[in-house]
Amino acid sequence: MKNIFESYDMKDIHVKNRVLMAPMTRSRTITGEVPTSMNAEYYAQRASAGIIVAEATQVSKQGQGYADTPGIYTKEQIEGWKKVTKAVHDEGGKIILQLWHVGRVSSSKVNGLQPIAPSALIAKDTPVYVFDTSESKDATMIPVEQPREMTKEDISQAIQEFVIGAKNAIEAGFDGVEIHGANGYLIDQFLRSNSNIREDNYGGSKENRINFLLEVTKAVIAEIGAEKTGVRLSPFIKFKDMDDPEMLDTFMIAAKELNKLDILYIHLCEADWDDAPEIPQSFREELRRNFKNTIIATGGYTLERANDVIRKDLVDLVGFGRYFIPNPDLVSRLENSYPLAEIKDSHTLFGGRDEFGYSDYPNYNA
């Protein structure tokens, strides 16, 4: 029977197991949002995952919504990421970069720019974080600002920024890219009727609201190839003021169109909190019918649940997020039933200038 420790082929990308390290924002870059040797060490420690999706990485200064998150639009950032990809590949791992534009989930206090969005609708009850000047670098939450509605020129510019980000990611040595269309950020804002009230060909009907996603994806494919292009979506997640009653139907329309583009995978981002909505098996079966390539699911999975969806052929890879923070050797711990370590200090999840709570977690000593 299939299980999570088997190898798997995602088109030309062979992974040694079906465990994916999910992208997790850690806000650990320094000046200019440039990855460092510390970031390289952190990812290399976790290279036993079948594949890593590196943290969300903004494709432009406009696309940044949080402090100290990495970018992929300058030469210095490319060189920083080269340290990361080399370190992971030297450990026999594979790594993909998640391309990110936050849209309206931002503040000029973070990047100096007014946020942009498909429509000039503020995300209610949605903070972003900056950091205070204390030694601990604790996150300070601030509200997002009113966005301005994107013009056609803004849309074209954003698409081009994703293309440049993809090109730069491949130059930096990544095995592929993941277009971030989930969690209330720019592409997700276009997909949802409550955040997109445009009346042009990017808004209105479900078919129009998927156009920005499809145009970004097609442009990235033209630059680096469908075999290196994945997409992450989150139809069941409603935080950041994204509760759209039409979203599940919109998602399936998008899945069918992405299938035609023959992309590498769809990464289904699921809620990971205790009272999260249960994903119906009928939804997973419909997605499998509509999308022929790799399906990834991430969100609060245990080993048992992961093996269950893999054995039922509903999912091909399963992503683990926070477990990977204190357990760099998570695959070995799961395979050998070793105990899982706990995060030792929640203040170290976001921000910081040293290895504490980041790359200082040890492997299990049997």
Q: Could you please report the per-residue DSSP string of 119-177?
A: SS---TT-EEEEE-SSTT--EEEEEPPPPEEPPHHHHHHHHHHHHHHHHHHHHTT-S-E
CA-nearest of 309, 333, 314, 315 to 323 is 333
* C-alpha to C-alpha distance for 302 and 306, rounded to whole angstroms: 6
Residue 229 makes CB contacts below 8 A (sequence gap 6+) with 166, 176, 177, 179, 217, 220, 221, 263, 264
Quick one: which of 239, 244, 156, 261 has its CA closest to 202? 156
Give dist(CA 65, CA 129) in Å, integer.
8
Handedness of CA 331, 334, 339, 340 (dihedral sign): positive
Which of 297, 315, 56 is closest to 187 using CA atoms? 56
How far is it, in rounded angstroms, from Cα 60 to Cα 133? 25
**How far apart (Å, rounded) are the C-alpha atoms in residues 320 and 303?**
10
Closest CA to 49 of 346, 327, 339: 327
Residues with catalytic function: 185
Looking at residue 315, the DSSP 8-state letter turns out to be -
- Report the distance separating Cα 191 and Cα 244, nearest Å: 9
